Amino acid sequence: MPEKILVPRGTKDILPDEIPRWLGIETTSRKILKNFGYKEIRTPFFEETSLFKRSLGQTSDVVTKQLLELVSQKEDGGFALRPEGTASIVRSYIENSLDKKESLSKLFYLGAMFRGERPQKGRLRQFHQIGVEAIGPGSSFPYLDAEVIALSANLLRAFGLDNFTVHLNTLGTSSDKANFSKLLQKQLKPQLRNLCENCQDRFERNVLRILDCKNRECKAIVDKLEIGDAYLSEESKTYFEKVQEALKSLNVAYVVSSKLVRGLDYYTHTVFEITHSGLGSQDALGAGGRYNDLVSQLGGPQVDAMGFALGVERILLALPEEAKDEGCLDLFIVSLDEALFQKAFQILNDLRAKGISCDISFRMSSMKSQMRQADKTKARYTMILGEDELKKGVVTFKNMKTGEQTQIKMDDTTKMTTLLLKQ
Ligand code: HAM
């Protein structure tokens, strides 16, 4: 037997049974994002590696451990699969001079992202994000931060989720962030030898990362830190207060988590993460924040920006099992023999032309086995064309949930459509 080739580790096939749920999420997202004034943008799946190095941070895990680089013959910096959407959107914003076209660009994207992580439940190497980025000069307005956070919560609620928590924090300006790093270094210095090897390295290179470390000893040390808000300037404190007031006015519940710093380097001011209790260790459904310096750091104008991304696979993991059958066929047709199949085939095509989703058994097996096939498709109705029906010139419709049966004249596809369109 030749060896089977399997799907690459950390990736998944999305099988036909699961597609309705994906489509549901995509359709709901598009509707809500349009209501909030966002327009879709699509960027390539890979970019120059330097884009990610310069935006996400040379010391971030995503860059040091998870970038999936493409092998290139040339001596250039090479290309990498996109690990997230923000860097690409900012690259495109600058390249296409979107700042000249509109004062605030409200962009959204839906698509696959790639990170070379160690796969586990809720952590994949190819996963999908629904993300938004609001970019424009002078867009640092606390109400916009609140609107973006409210939008992420609205999306999750519209997908059918409610047991989630919004964690909120502020990093302040880039100089506040530098103060934050100094404060942490001061507090952590006496414990340096007790930190894991990774965190000892992070201490100099990017001390904020230590707050995210999953190592038990590091976590215990981090838990004892008293952070406060002394590292923030008065302006940053006022800005954060206003964001919170705006969130309250929008009825968005949140908790302030002073140790939330996020794993990517581009954030300034507001940061947030949404967790779900049912998810286990990879419990973030989504996350985001403000990144006021990124556009200028990548060679663009000095404009402010704020965004988030939700992870679709994690949303699906957190969703209750029901609604899985959504999007199944309206009708499955079974017919006694080849002569009757011809009539059944004609009805099938008439009904499809009228917008009914239906299918038929293409195998002339027994009626019983065709009925089993109908059961498997989970169609709402089955139409039977057997001997009895032929004699009477009718077809029988069976409601697969209630078992109720109705007969309709063989040529009356209008009546059939009315029955099938009834919910
Ligand atoms: P992130 O926190 O790296 O942020 O990812 C956002 C979400 O993507 C996570 O909360 C999670 O749901 C999902 N996700 C991330 N990695 C994986 C993975 N390996 N497997 C499955 N799901 C995953 C960003 O990507 C930022 N670009 C968000 C943002 C937009 N900030 C501002 N604008």
Model pLDDT, residue 97: 97
* Range in 82-91, 269-278, 335-344 with the lowest mean pLDDT: 335-344
Rg (CA), the chain: 27
309 in contact with ligand 1, CB cutoff 6 A: yes
Model pLDDT, residue 378: 85
Q: What percent of the chain has pLDDT over 90?
A: 79
- Mean pLDDT, range 140-157, rounded to an integer: 95
Index of the ligand 1 atom closest to the CA of residue 288: 31
More confident residue, 234 or 375: 234
- Mean pLDDT, range 15-27, rounded to an integer: 92
| Whether 348 contacts 383, CB under 8 Å | no
- Residue with the nearest Cα to atom 18 of ligand 1? 123
Model pLDDT, residue 326: 58
Model pLDDT, residue 376: 87
85 in contact with ligand 1, CB cutoff 6 A: yes
Mean pLDDT of the residues in the chain: 93
Model pLDDT, residue 325: 52
Quick one: tokens of 392?
């009477």
Model pLDDT, residue 74: 67
* Segments of 211-283 assigned E as strands: 255-256, 270-276
- Mean pLDDT, range 360-375, rounded to an integer: 89
Model pLDDT, residue 75: 64
Quick one: tokens of 312?
């679709």
**Nearest-10 crossing angle of helices 338-353, 413-421:** 60
CA of 119 to the centre of ligand 1 (A): 15
109 in contact with ligand 1, CB cutoff 6 A: no
CA of 174 to the centre of ligand 1 (A): 22
CA of 263 to the centre of ligand 1 (A): 10
Confidence tier at 221 by pLDDT (50, 70, 90): very high
Confidence tier at 422 by pLDDT (50, 70, 90): confident
CA of 272 to the centre of ligand 1 (A): 12
Q: Count the neighbouring beta carbons within 10 Å of the beta carbon of residue 395.
A: 26
Whether the predicted pLDDT of 324 surpasses 60: no
- Residue with the nearest Cα to atom 15 of ligand 1? 311
288 in contact with ligand 1, CB cutoff 6 A: yes
- Residue with the nearest Cα to atom 17 of ligand 1? 123
Provide φ and ψ at 202, rounded to 5°. Answer: -65, -25
Model pLDDT, residue 32: 92
Whether the predicted pLDDT of 323 surpasses 60: no
286 in contact with ligand 1, CB cutoff 6 A: yes
* Range in 213-217, 283-287, 406-410 with the lowest mean pLDDT: 213-217
Whether the predicted pLDDT of 152 surpasses 90: yes
Confidence tier at 354 by pLDDT (50, 70, 90): confident
Domains of the chain: residue spans and CATH:
19-173+233-322 (3.30.930.10), 331-421 (3.40.50.800)
| Residues in Cβ contact with 179 at an 8 Å cutoff, skipping those fewer than 6 apart | 172, 230, 231, 232
> What would the pLDDT profile of 386-421 be if each residue is shown by its tens digit?
999 999 999 999 999 899 999 999 999 999 999 998
CA of 126 to the centre of ligand 1 (A): 12
311 in contact with ligand 1, CB cutoff 6 A: yes
Model pLDDT, residue 71: 83
- Residue with the nearest Cα to atom 1 of ligand 1? 287
Model pLDDT, residue 17: 87
Index of the ligand 1 atom closest to the CA of residue 115: 19
H-type alpha helices, 36-127: 49-56, 61-64, 86-95, 98-101
> What would the pLDDT profile of 165-188 be if each residue is shown by its tens digit?
999 999 999 999 999 999 999 999
Model pLDDT, residue 413: 94
284 in contact with ligand 1, CB cutoff 6 A: yes
More confident residue, 68 or 75: 68
Q: Count the neighbouring beta carbons within 10 Å of the beta carbon of residue 128.
A: 21
- Sign (positive or negative) of CA dihedral 49, 82, 57, 214: negative
| Whether 21 contacts 316, CB under 8 Å | yes
Burial of 396 by CB count in 10 Å (0-12 exposed, 13-18 middle, 19+ buried)? middle
Provide φ and ψ at 422, rounded to 5°. Answer: -70, 135
86 in contact with ligand 1, CB cutoff 6 A: yes
Quick one: tokens of 88?
């690409």
- Mean pLDDT, range 112-124, rounded to an integer: 95
- Residue with the nearest Cα to atom 2 of ligand 1? 287
Model pLDDT, residue 61: 87
Residue 249 to residue 243: CA distance in whole angstroms: 10
- Mean pLDDT, range 25-44, rounded to an integer: 95
- Residue with the nearest Cα to atom 16 of ligand 1? 123
By C-alpha distance, which of 49, 120, 37 is closest to 78? Answer: 49
Question: Token pair 């590292």 is at which residue?
Answer: 231
